[in-house]
Amino acid sequence: MKRILSILLIAFFIPLLSSASLNGQSGPGKLEGTWKMKSHEGDIRIEFSAINRGNDGDRSTMSVSKSFLTGYTGDRNSGFLLKKPGGEIRFTGDITSDNGEGTFVFTPDENYVKSFANEGFKNLSPAVLLLFTIKNTSINFVQDVKKLGYSDLSEDNLTALVALDVSADYIKDIQDDSSKDLPLGKIIGFKALNVDPEYIARMKKLSGGDLSAGDIMAFAALKVDEKYAEEMYKSGYELTGKDLIEFKAMGVTPEYVKEMKSAGFDEISSKDIVQLKAQNITPDFIKEVKSMGFKEEITIPVIVKLKIFKINKDYIRQMDAAGYPGLSPEQLVQFKIFNIDKAFIDKATEFVGSKPEPEKIIQLKVAGEDHK
């Protein structure tokens, strides 16, 4: 789950933030780069790419209203300006009908930078300041987050909050529905997965209220919803929240449960169904196992072991030909674990002077491995 969240966050805002270590600054406190513009739903969308020596640049796309641009005509080659409380961005380049490209220089506002420094965020990189500027992040937001119990707010968490458009109201709503002590990292994870209080309430109702913050994120990441839970309940299982997560993560569906039951396992536990699915066991494989001629009862643990160690009719025929017909599933598993084949059996028979019992064959193999 941690890996899922990390991937989501990286995909969402790292493209811009990695510019923090760039050598593309045009002067103290400034950041330069390239931009591309496309018309978008009556306005424009600008893709910023900070200059990064050694690769093609780091990009971040943001929509900007034309009304905020000074000197913008959208129909000729010229420069224009986007001025915000956080600083100004000067654009130069070619534009035709709200489409174009060129270069930009971002200069942070000194008072804006100082206000963050006063709250403990000193030496913010121009790339981070550009993000804050574009997102209209004010120092009031920082203060509001701290008032909600996060006085130790880190730069990384603040940057993530801004990049994901997390508001103080969103944080408060999540706290009210979950816990005042909920770590900020969990809240960031919720937002990255589009989790809101309504979703939390629905999922808690779905699972009988037994859901941690991590479980909720797993539900969202795996797209567990009421429809999936209802279908699984109809399959005959009373599942907890954690059971639903495990089922969904393993790809267990009502259809798969039905297939396994039709293969001769009417009473099959949720644990067994997960084990079967984990090994991609199909009704055809179960049918094959049942045709192998075992005297022992064919249980799900037996089927799982045979699948794990790739024991099939060909291997059984090899053992039959080597003088060991009628081996039990457990004996076959032991043989396969120690890579016992016809060549080793022939050597062991020659060494002992007669065909060894199955247990003796295994002992000889183990002894041989120990002396290597």
Average pLDDT over residues 31-45: 85
Mean pLDDT for all residues in the chain: 84
Task: State the pairing for strand pair 69-70/78-84.
Answer: antiparallel
| 109: Cβ contacts below 8 Å, ≥ 6 apart | 85, 86, 87, 88
Residue 285 has pLDDT above 90, yes or no: yes
- Number of other residues whose CB lies within 10 A of the CB of residue 82: 21
Residue 8 has pLDDT above 50, yes or no: no
Residue 3 has pLDDT above 60, yes or no: no
Residue 62 has pLDDT above 80, yes or no: no
Question: How far is C-alpha 148 from the geometric centre of its chain's CA atoms?
Answer: 28
Residue 328 has pLDDT above 50, yes or no: yes
pLDDT over 90, % of the chain: 51
CA distances from 188 to 54, 72, 209 (A): 31, 36, 22
Task: Determine the 3-state secondary structure of 241 from DSSP.
Answer: helix
Residue 333: pLDDT band by 50, 70, 90 thresholds?
very high
Average pLDDT over residues 179-197: 92
pLDDT at residue number 369: 60
Asked if 67 contacts 60 with a C-beta cutoff of 8 angstroms, the reply is no
pLDDT over 70, % of the chain: 87
- Number of other residues whose CB lies within 10 A of the CB of residue 80: 18
Round to whole Å and give the CA distance between 111 and 139. 11
pLDDT at residue number 181: 86
For residue 200, give the nearest of 183, 222, 176 by alpha carbon: 176
Residues 275-312 as b or e (16 or more Cβ within 10 Å = b): bbbeeebeeebbeebeeeebeeebebebbbbbbebebe
Residue 4 has pLDDT above 50, yes or no: no
Average pLDDT over residues 86-101: 88
Amino acid identity at 125 = S
Residue 203 has pLDDT above 50, yes or no: yes
Model pLDDT for residues 106-165, shown as the tens digit of each residue = 999 999 999 999 999 998 999 899 989 988 999 999 999 999 999 999 999 999 999 999
pLDDT at residue number 291: 92
Higher pLDDT, 7 or 246: 246
Average pLDDT over residues 337-344: 91
pLDDT at residue number 60: 62
Average pLDDT over residues 16-43: 64
